[in-house]
Structure 1
Amino acid sequence: MQGETNLARLLAGMSPSLDETVYVFAFLPAGSPETVVSAVLMRFAEAEGTTLVLPREEAERAGLVFTFPCRRIVLEIHSSLEAVGFLAMILPRLAAASIGVNPVSAFHHDHLFVPEDRAADAMAILSAIATGA
């Protein structure tokens, strides 16, 4: 199934959804034993080691060192991985409001990880973008 590539339709059709879970970014250095954590949302390998994005409770339970308590906003529109400019239209609006964001594009949706205490502000901005305000 092909995702949407038309920028106007992506912006007008996105429906931001705020995940209630507080996530964190944890790091496992290269060569360290893989920690068994059941609720890892994302795992990304780099030369230096592996980044895990997981619920804060899981990171604490596993004794992982973590940073960036955040909330995930799912842009509920099936965006194509080949779409051009979708996040480029969104991220500057969040930056103008001094909201840091870590975006992740997955097969069906784009996901924005924003600071836990700025999630409501980010949702308001995203809703305004979707309604054309």
Structure 2
Amino acid sequence: MASSTQVAAATDPLADDGSIPLIDVQGQGFDLLRSIDLGHSLWRPNGATDLDQLSSRQIVVVAAYSAEDIESSRPLMQRFMTIVLAMGLGPQYGSRALTLGAVGYVDAGTDEGAIRGVFSDAVARVRIRRLREAAA
């Protein structure tokens, strides 16, 4: 008999790292990441219902313009593999985002190479986490 974890994994849609949703109310984070070759296509959901069909193992990027944006993104961090893109916040909120459940924190104020590197590291951590979950 299949365990509930196996059944949930079988019914959960596959995560698509080639097409990553970016939740960005203002659009500046989306414009920034689109200008940098991250190796992933990005799309902006129109609303929460656009995320309903996604796997819980899906990478989602949230552009945060304030500390409150990070706090209010906690439900997403609990549901998806979330990377926070800090727009004008600096690195000081990274530990808070990670404590709330984010898998990565990218400071948009750094240079393009650093953003690309931090983003790639976060995606790699997500893939490792998925492998560990699948092996458990």
| TM-score, normalising length: structure 1 | 0.31
Greater strand content = 1
Q: Which has the larger radius of gyration?
A: 1
Structure of greater relative contact order (alpha carbons < 8 Å, 6+ residues apart): 1
